[in-house]
Amino acid sequence: MPSPLYSSIAVVSWPVLRGLFRLEAHGVENLPEGGFVLAANHFSNFDPWPLGLPLFPSRQLFFMAKAELFNPILGPPLRAGGAFPVRRGEADVEAVQRAVEICRSGGVVAMFPEGTRERKGLRKKFEHKPRTGSARIALNAGVPLVPAALEGTDRLSRLAKLKVSYGEPVPVDDLKGRSHGEAHKVATQRLMERISSLREAL
């Protein structure tokens, strides 16, 4: 169940996203029971709201946030809201293991494989080389890798309609037996193709 702080944020956000931004969610039925990794395209720092709100109140999203934010003032509310630290720009084994543990315990870890937000107005299929962290966590944890697509969070000032679409889990059973690096790369390619298809359908 969501933490008290996460629930409070969701309750306050609900009328804003549903009323002002007319949030529209598709494919909620594709979300599996138990833990999984939810990976989506990245437009804005606001992306976690439309990505996670349709799962509330039964599920909470957990996010990686840059370690620099976890100071004595911001650290406690960030952790209470589902964030955990990651050292960006380096292989943070501890953060990956934390994500694996969350998934194995039934939680949902949200990731943005593009890493960097898309530049305004650009709709290239893969503007940024996708990172393999989402696939790595899902495969290591033995949980589904679920694609999602967001639309409208790059036009918040114009009160654009927000849309989110959740796809079926990426097939990875055939990757067993391959090297970790190859399996992560192939799973990531499939993930990005699924995200692209979901975006085109929104």
Bridge-partner residues for 83, per DSSP?
63
Q: For residue 163, what is the domain's CATH number?
A: 3.40.1130.10
Number of structural domains in the chain: 1
SS3 (DSSP) at 62: strand
SS3 (DSSP) at 56: coil
- Domain of 152? 4-201
Distance of alpha carbon 12 from alpha carbon 15, whole angstroms: 7
Stated pTM of the model: 0.89
Q: Which residues neighbour 158 within 8 Å (Cβ) at sequence distance 6 or greater?
A: none
pLDDT digits (tens, 9 = 90+) for 152-164: 999 988 899 999 9
pLDDT digits (tens, 9 = 90+) for 117-139: 555 444 444 456 899 999 999 99
In angstroms, the Cα distances linking 116 to 11, 112, 143, 169, 198 are 28, 8, 25, 23, 19
Q: Where residue 92 falls among pLDDT bands split at 50, 70, 90? A: confident
Q: What's the whole-number mean pLDDT along residues 100-124? A: 77
